[in-house]
Amino acid sequence: MKFRSFIRPLAIAAGLVLVLGVGLLGRFTLNTPLYLIERGGLAQPQALQFVPKQSTLVASVLVRPDRLASLWEYLAAPSQRQEARRDQASIEQVLLANTGLNYDRDLQPWLGDEITGALVTADLDQNPANGLMPGYLAVLSCQDPQAAQAALELYWQNRAIAGDALTFEDFSGNRLIYARPRAQRAPAEDSAQLATALVANRYLLAANHPEVLRQALTAAQSNDLNLQSDRRYKTALGKLPPTRVGLLALNLPALGQWLNPTMAKGQGLGALGAIDDQVGWGLMSWQLTRQGLVGHTALLAAQGHRLHAQQPSNTSWAAIAPYLPDSLAVAAVGSDLLTLGQALQPLLAIVSPDETTPPLDRLLDEALGAGATALVKTGVDGAYGVGLSASTPGTTLDWLIVAPQSETLTANLEALSDLARHQGLGVGTLDLQGTPTIAWTRLSLPQRSGSQPLQVKAAVAGLNAQVDQYEVLTASPATLDMVLNPAVRQRPSWWQQVAEVSGPSTGYIHIDWPQVQGNLTTRLRHWQLWSTAAQPALKHLRQITLVGSDRSDAMQIGRILVQLSNQ
């Protein structure tokens, strides 16, 4: 399906996420857009009555987009305000592509404070022979019904003048309007039919196919079918703070299937905190902060499954943070290394559904032999810090593990050297910045050409050194050099944002967005489309930090810290 088919009029689901990503950075007072930090927008979306509860992805923006755009420009440095206006124009151009609509002229005069968009289904006709045909729905609240009606009539009049054959259909007491695809359109676009309905003079519904509108209107007539009345939604919403500017609902198995169509049903997006845990549905509530966004998350156990309960602790990981270089693309800090892989599994299933082993586990076993991961994990019985360095797609990631010294860990590291020897690796000691360092190396004899002499080459498989009271393991001499150098050792820049989060936690997972964005683009087919449209917003995204919190047998609570910059 061509890209423009994903961003039909009103941008359906993608547009809402883009507006949310660009606009949700702010500080407000009563006389400026700054009030949104303390007061937020609407308490909750009312348009969820039109969203079928099995929908894959649902996003609600609870503040008018132009107010969020004004905030973004207000907060920008004076030298960046012109660029901010260009970004807003670029986003509007993408969202309203091929519609002939202008936001200021055609939407702003009647638009209310809620826009809800949903990916209702990844494939409307469920026919694998013709590929995926996603069903998108947008629900826009109306503060001026007469203006909304006039804008809608004008839009369809223009479509009719342009030669589209309009269809008027009465369904459940509402008038649906849509245009039959013209014969000259490309086959890939024939399935896209913008359809609209004005409901109760309060909501303008738009979809990329009339069948989506029929499903939406049917859902609104039955509490058993819509998301607003769904038990999962009510349960999760009750656990989240009331102040928000947006909500995001995720049907996790369906989302994984949509992002990775080749993934078998039931695969991935399951383990969280323990091997047999299964997460099925999640809700995120987004607040504005001075640094960017805070997303409060509630993930619910899948039907018939239970989560392993875990209470957050008041453990301070500040002492271990300086040993994690700022250059790491992904870093994690916590107190139970054995469960880190399960905590990362939902993310891994989205990015790499065919890779069931966490990257750190795979890299350790590949470098030092099968069983290396188990030796390290069982040796770390307290706080830990781990990280992966950035690399280009197709190259090997560098890894780092930092943990307090202990008798158990020392014994397991000796066993790790024995394991390396059995794999044919050399085990030796070298001096790095005056620190004795164990080096596990793999020797090779490259084929010579011509009269060149034979040369034995040594590739580093891993390094281990004691730094202060910590054991440090890494695959990169450069990384170890940074850890050993007290002159450059300091808490990573993202730690300041973490330090401002109050309350106990089960740990943190940090993502440096500019470094991982390229890998996402190459791995996820849909992400290539979204990232192209979202580039004016994504270029301001700097860092993402996941904060673990309380987990019962039915629900996991957490936070997502998003750092944005327009300076």
Indicate the number of domains in the chain.
2
pLDDT at 498: 84
The first and second tokens of residue 312, run together, are: 């957050």
Last residue of a domain, one of 173, 205, 224: 224
Q: Are residues 207 and 343 in the same domain?
A: no
Residue 251 lies in a domain: no
Q: Are residues 181 and 330 in the same domain?
A: no
Q: Are residues 65 and 196 in the same domain?
A: yes
- Mapped to the 3 state alphabet, what secondary structure does 33-89 carry? HHHHHHHCCCCCCCHHHHCECCCCEEEEECCCHHHHHHHHHHHCCHHHHHHHHHHHH
Last residue of a domain, one of 169, 197, 224: 224
Residue 272 lies in a domain: no
Q: Are residues 159 and 25 in the same domain?
A: yes
> Rounded CA gap, 252 and 270, in Å?
8
Q: Are residues 402 and 526 in the same domain?
A: yes
Residue 242 lies in a domain: no
The first and second tokens of residue 354, run together, are: 């065919």
Report how far apart, in Å, the C-alpha atoms of 518 and of each of 329, 381, 514, 528 are: 12, 35, 8, 10
Q: Are residues 217 and 328 in the same domain?
A: no
Residue 52 lies in a domain: yes
Q: Could you write out the DSSP letters of every residue in 288-352?
A: E-SSEEEEEEEEEEPTT--PPPB--B----TTTGGGS-TTEEEEEEES-GGGHHHHHHHHHHHH-
> Rounded CA gap, 116 and 130, in Å?
28
**8 A C-beta contact, residue 322 and residue 491:** yes
Q: Are residues 204 and 349 in the same domain?
A: no
Nearest C-alpha neighbor of 206 from the set 259, 130, 155, 158: 155
Last residue of a domain, one of 224, 258, 291: 224
CA angle, 57 as apex, 55 and 58 as ends, to 5°? 90
**What are the pLDDT tens digits along the chain (567 aa)?**
332 333 333 333 334 333 333 343 333 334 566 777 778 889 999 999 999 999 999 999 999 888 877 766 666 677 777 777 777 777 777 777 767 788 888 899 999 999 999 999 988 887 777 777 899 999 999 999 999 999 999 999 999 998 889 999 999 999 999 987 655 444 444 456 889 999 999 999 999 999 999 999 999 999 999 999 999 999 999 999 999 999 999 998 888 778 776 655 555 444 333 335 678 899 999 998 777 889 999 999 888 888 777 777 767 788 999 999 998 989 999 888 887 876 666 566 555 555 567 788 888 999 999 999 999 999 998 889 999 986 555 556 789 999 999 999 999 999 999 999 999 999 999 999 899 999 999 988 777 776 777 777 888 999 999 999 999 999 989 999 999 988 888 889 888 888 777 778 888 999 998 888 776 666 555 555 555 656 666 777 889 999 988 888 889 899 999 988 765
Residue 292 lies in a domain: no
pLDDT at 343: 66
The amino acid that residue 235 corresponds to is T
The first and second tokens of residue 462, run together, are: 């891993």
Residue 556 lies in a domain: no
Nearest C-alpha neighbor of 564 from the set 14, 121, 112, 75: 75
Judged on CB neighbours under 10 Å (0-12, 13-18, 19+), 542 is middle
Q: Are residues 55 and 195 in the same domain?
A: yes
Query: How many other CB atoms sit within 10 Å of the CB of residue 304?
Result: 7
Which domain covers residue 66, as residue numbers? 3-224
pLDDT at 548: 85
> Rounded CA gap, 317 and 547, in Å?
13
> Rounded CA gap, 75 and 565, in Å?
10
Q: Are residues 31 and 167 in the same domain?
A: yes
The first and second tokens of residue 92, run together, are: 């509007």
Residue 399 lies in a domain: yes
Residue 252 lies in a domain: no
Q: Are residues 538 and 415 in the same domain?
A: yes
What SS3 state is found at 43?
Answer: coil
